Amino acid sequence: MDRLILNKFDNLMENGCFKSKLELYEYMIMKIINDNDGPIGAWELKSTLNNYGAKLSTASIGRYLKEMDSKGTAELASNKGRILTDKGRIVLSEKEEIVTSTLLHNNIREATKIADYSQLIQLYYVRQALEIEVVREAILYASDEEINAIEHTNEEYKKCIERKEDFTDPALSFHAVLAKSTKNRFLESILIMLIYEQKRIEAKFEILATRKMECGREYTNEHEKIYDALKQRNLEKATQLMIAHLEGLRCALENEIGG
């Protein structure tokens, strides 16, 4: 069985992979049947499940197997035990994708929990690497309508500056909407996660260089230039502007620490 699943078995329910223990046990049984070399019976399933910390009686396993038979996901192979049907392998594959995606999401989220100011700066280095690719894919795949939606976030940003209000949300929305326009759900999900964690940790600081109004005015102008380059589908210019923008944000934080 996959080491990823083994390591996280006790936490699968907590991580939201399954709605109930019944779903979790059925998934584990299907996984063991699929990974076994040939048919497998209730006693061997019980032993294997126990090794993974799932304490089920043979009677309970038998009920799960009969339920799987009725769903058409498993079938008896003479008197040797159960195997998965084609339908069962499809169902298992879909469940494995959900489990893997959920665990990966949780692992990344845990890894991006920021403990101090210096790690916030490290986050900007990661964002810069990701957003260079975001710019590239947005120019290649974003529709004109999606590009215009990016401009809308900057208009909201400008209104906050004019009203001297907190501009954090529209500032970050610019990058989130840009990521969404790539149609790359993995790239979008990771960047959104980083942005969320950045917003969470920045909220703990009463004073932050990047939240100063004079900086906000500068940043919204930079957003405007990035938008113009995106609209022109000018990859080189848009990339250079994004790099300069994120480096400026990072340097403002570095100077604040140095000061």
Segment (H or E) for 98: helix 86-111
**Domain final residue pick, 59, 74, 107:** 107
- Output the six-digit token pair for 91: 């169902």
76 DSSP β-pair partners:
82
pLDDT in tens, 196-237: 878 877 777 777 778 888 888 999 999 999 999 999 999 999
| Residues 6+ away with beta carbon under 8 Å from 214 | none
**What single string gives the DSSP state of each residue in 45-75?**
HHHHHHHTT----HHHHHHHHHHHHHHTSEE
pLDDT in tens, 88-146: 999 999 888 888 777 776 766 666 565 566 777 888 888 999 999 999 999 999 999 99
Model pTM?
0.60
Considering the domain architecture, whether residues 52 and 137 belong to the same structural domain is answered as: no
**Domain final residue pick, 81, 107, 133:** 107
**Confidence at 6, pLDDT banded by 50, 70, 90:** very low
CB 191 within 8 A of CB 152: no
Considering the domain architecture, whether residues 99 and 120 belong to the same structural domain is answered as: no
CATH number of the domain that residue 232 is part of: 1.20.120.530
Instruction: Supply φ then ψ for residue 157, to 5 degrees.
Output: -60, -50
Considering the domain architecture, whether residues 221 and 94 belong to the same structural domain is answered as: no
**Confidence at 4, pLDDT banded by 50, 70, 90:** very low
Q: Which of 188, 195, 173, 105 is nearest to 142 (CA)?
A: 188
Domain range holding 143? 114-258
Neighbours of 78 (CB within 10 A): 6
**What is the total count of domains within the chain?**
2
Q: Is 118 exposed, middle or buried (0-12, 13-18, 19+ CB in 10 A)?
A: exposed
Alpha-carbon gap, residue 24 to 28, rounded angstroms: 6
pLDDT value for 60:
93
Considering the domain architecture, whether residues 123 and 241 belong to the same structural domain is answered as: yes
Considering the domain architecture, whether residues 118 and 101 belong to the same structural domain is answered as: no
pLDDT in tens, 51-65: 877 888 999 999 999
Alpha-carbon gap, residue 17 to 99, rounded angstroms: 6
CB 154 within 8 A of CB 223: yes
